[in-house]
Amino acid sequence: MSNQESVIQRISPRRIFSRSCDDSE
């Protein structure tokens, strides 16, 4: 799963930030 995360960060680093906010709430 680490590989997939790296790809997402490269493709949409902002999408990860949004997911982190959702996870926090």
Q: What is the mean pLDDT of residues 1-25?
A: 65
Residue owning tokens 């930030």: 17
Helix (H, G, I), strand (E, B) or coil at 1: coil
What pLDDT is attached to residue 7?
Answer: 72
12-21 as b/e: b if 16+ CB within 10 A: eeeeeeeeee
What pLDDT is attached to residue 2?
Answer: 72
Q: Cα 6–1–12 angle (5° rounding)?
A: 35
pTM: 0.21
Distance of alpha carbon 5 from alpha carbon 16, whole angstroms = 9
Two structure tokens written together for 23: 């996870």
